[in-house]
A = this chain, B = another copy of it.
Amino acid sequence: MPHANRISRIRSKLAGLELEALLFFDMRNIRYLVGFSGSDGALLVGENGVILMVDGRYVTQAKGEARGAEIFEYSDKIDGIARVVTDAGLRSVGFESVAINFDHYLNLKGKLDGLVLKPISEEINSIRAVKDQDEIELIKKAVEISSRALASTLELVRPGIRERDVALELEYRMKGKGAEKVSFETIVASGKNAALPHATPGSRRIEDGDFVVIDYGAVYGGYSSDETCTFAVGSVTDRQKEIYGIVKDAHDRALDSVKAGVACREVDRVARNHIESAGLGEYFSHGTGHGVGLDVHEAPRLSARSEDYLAAGMVITIEPGIYIPDLWGVRIEDMILVEEDGCEVLTRMPKDLRIL
C-alpha cells in the first residue's frame, strides 16, 4: 500500500506545522500520493480525509486511478478548492507554494478570508526524494528501455546525419521499446552546438571530428531515466581527449564521494574542484546533478548552494560538463541509487571515450 503509507507520512507532518490539512497543486506530488496521473487538479490531505479535486475532463480517469481519495468535480478550479476547504470546516491549511502561481494564490486567498493559509515548500519539497522498491524498479525499467534504444541508434551517428534525425530515431525507438513518453526533449548536440548545455537538436549535420552530446531519457510507469553520453565521431584530437578525460575524472570523483549522509554541495564541490584545478571552472556552468523520479528534475539538488543531504534510496544524477563557447562541449551523466556506503550506478552505457 505505497499510497496509504505516503499519505500517512504527510499526515505526520501536520501537527508539527500546526495545520489541519495540506493542499497540493503539483501533479507529480498528487500522482505520488494518490496515483492520479492526469495533468490538472488539486489534492487536500487532512487528518481524516483525502479529497482529489478535478475538472470534468478528468472525473472518469480520477475515479479509475485514485487510491484512498474522495473525488470532487469542479468547473472553476479555485472556486472548487475554496468550496472543499470551506465545507471541510478547516481553519488552518498549508499549501504547496512553489506549485501555485501568484494570481491563483490571490484569488484563493480572497475566497478563504479568515482562514490561515500557510505557504509550505521546504517541508514537502523532498517528500519524493527517497524512493521505495517499487519506484526503483520502475526507474530501472525506464533505464533499460532508454539504454537499449540508444544502443540501437548509435549505428546512425555518423558524419552526414542531422542532429534532429538522430534525436527522432532515438525517441522513436524508446517509445517503440515501451517508453510512455520521453523524459524531456532529447538533446543531440554536435560540433559547436555541443557547447550549449541545453541545445535543441537542429539541422546541423554531424561531421568528422565532432563531439556529439546525447542527453536523453524515457518515462516508464511515470518514472524517468536521465543519461548523457558524449561520443567522438571519426577522429579525436589530443585536446578533445584531454577535456573528455577531465570531465570523466570529475564525474568519477563525484560518484566516489556519494554515500548516505554526505552534503549534496560536497558532491558538487568534488566535481567542481577537479574542473577548476584544470583552469576550466568557468566552463562548467551548471550544477553537478539532481534527483530523478516522477519528475526528471526533483529533490535533492547537487549544486554549490544546495542544503540537501544524501540519503539511502535517493536516485540522483552526476553530470559534470565543460562547454567551450563556439568550439565544443562534453557532458557525462549517470543516474545512481544512493546507498548507505556508496552507490549503485543505474545507467548502463559505458562512459569511457568512445569514437563512433
| Segment of A43-51, A55-63, A137-145, A332-340 engaged in the interface with chain B | A55-63
Q: Which of B61, B168, B286 is A57 in contact with, Cβ under 8 Å?
A: B286
A175 to B201, CA, bound (A): 12
Q: Give the residues in chain B near A326, CB-CB below 8 Å.
A: 60
For the complex, is A180 an interface residue (Cβ under 8 Å from B)? yes
Q: Which of B168, B196, B305 is A61 in contact with, Cβ under 8 Å?
A: B196
A305 to B75, CA, bound (A): 10
A-B contact pairs, 24 of them (CB 8 A): A37-B200, A55-B285, A55-B286, A56-B197, A56-B286, A57-B197, A57-B198, A57-B286, A58-B198, A60-B196, A60-B325, A61-B198, A97-B101, A97-B102, A97-B103, A97-B106, A98-B102, A100-B101, A103-B121, A105-B105, A106-B119, A168-B175, A180-B200, A181-B185
Q: Give the residues in chain B near A285, CB-CB below 8 Å.
A: 55-57, 59
Q: A60-B196, A176-B168 are in contact. Are A101 and B98 (CB under 8 A)?
A: yes
Q: Which of B58, B198, B286 is A38 in contact with, Cβ under 8 Å?
A: B198
Query: How many of these chains are in the complex?
Result: 2
Q: Give the residues in chain B near A42, CB-CB below 8 Å.
A: none
Q: Give the residues in chain B near A38, CB-CB below 8 Å.
A: 198
Q: Can you list, as one digit per residue, whether each of A83-115 has a CB less than 8 Å from chain B (1) or not (0)? A: 000000000000101111111111000000000
A57 to B287, CA, bound (A): 10
Q: Which of B37, B59, B102 is A102 in contact with, Cβ under 8 Å?
A: B102
Q: Give the residues in chain B near A199, CB-CB below 8 Å.
A: 61
Query: What are the 3 A-B residue pairs with the smallest beta carbon separation, nearest first?
Result: A56-B285, A97-B103, A97-B102
Q: Give the residues in chain B near A119, CB-CB below 8 Å.
A: 102-103, 106
Q: A98-B103, A101-B97, A101-B98 are in contact. Are A39 and B175 (CB under 8 A)?
A: no
Q: Can you list, as one digit per residue, whether each of A54-85 has a CB less than 8 Å from chain B (1) or not (0)? A: 01111111000000000000001000000000
Q: Give the residues in chain B near A103, CB-CB below 8 Å.
A: 97-98, 119, 121
Known: A57-B196, A61-B198, A164-B175. 13 other contacts (CB 8 A): A38-B198, A55-B286, A56-B286, A60-B326, A61-B196, A95-B102, A97-B106, A98-B101, A101-B102, A105-B105, A168-B172, A171-B175, A180-B200
CB distance from A63 to the nearest CB of B (A): 9
For the complex, is A315 an interface residue (Cβ under 8 Å from B)? no
CB distance from A149 to the nearest CB of B (A): 12
A305 to B119, CA, bound (A): 29
For the complex, is A275 an interface residue (Cβ under 8 Å from B)? no
For the complex, is A263 an interface residue (Cβ under 8 Å from B)? no
CB distance from A30 to the nearest CB of B (A): 15
For the complex, is A195 an interface residue (Cβ under 8 Å from B)? yes
Q: Give the residues in chain B near A168, CB-CB below 8 Å.
A: 172, 175-176
CB distance from A242 to the nearest CB of B (A): 22
